[in-house]
Amino acid sequence: MSRITSTFAALAVLAVSAFMLSACSSGATARGTSYSYEFATLKAHLPHHLDDVYRATERTMNNLELEIESSSKDAFEARIIARGVRNLRHAIDLRREGDTVTSVSISVGALGDETRSREIMSMIEERLTPQD
């Protein structure tokens, strides 16, 4: 009986952990772009052309002093992988949804970091907003 109980307890802990890791939230950035955060990935749609979002993302990674490990782009999508001091992986995927809409997905580390992902999204948006 105790073996069954301990197995059940271990499965319960695993199930709760999986649920907590998959927790999701949504909100808006300082510039009003709505986003969702689920499965360790922040997702948003920006009203800008893929080329502009790609350039803004590269500038953001450089401004954050993250080393760009790989960067690739075609007419439909782009991907930038960067790493920080602690070797934390930052993956940004961009996908063209139309002439003036780009889907952005940001994931930081294996378990995700919503705060850092939102900060990166905000910085990308800043680089897309025309300066007055």
Is there a domain that residue 41 lies in?
yes
Token pair 């069954």 in the structure block, residue:
4
Mean pLDDT confidence for 12-35: 59
Mean pLDDT confidence for 105-126: 96
Is there a domain that residue 1 lies in?
no
Q: How confident is the model at residue 23 (pLDDT cuts 50, 70, 90)?
A: low
Is there a domain that residue 5 lies in?
no
Is there a domain that residue 17 lies in?
no
Q: Would you say residue 8 has pLDDT above 70?
A: no
Is there a domain that residue 13 lies in?
no
What residue numbers bound the domain in which 85 lies? 24-128
State how many domains the chain has: 1
Q: What is the CATH number of the domain that holds 59?
A: 3.30.310.240
Find the helix or strand (DSSP H, E) in which 126 lies. helix 114-128
Report the pLDDT value the prediction gives residue 132, as an integer from 0 to 100.
46
Is there a domain that residue 4 lies in?
no
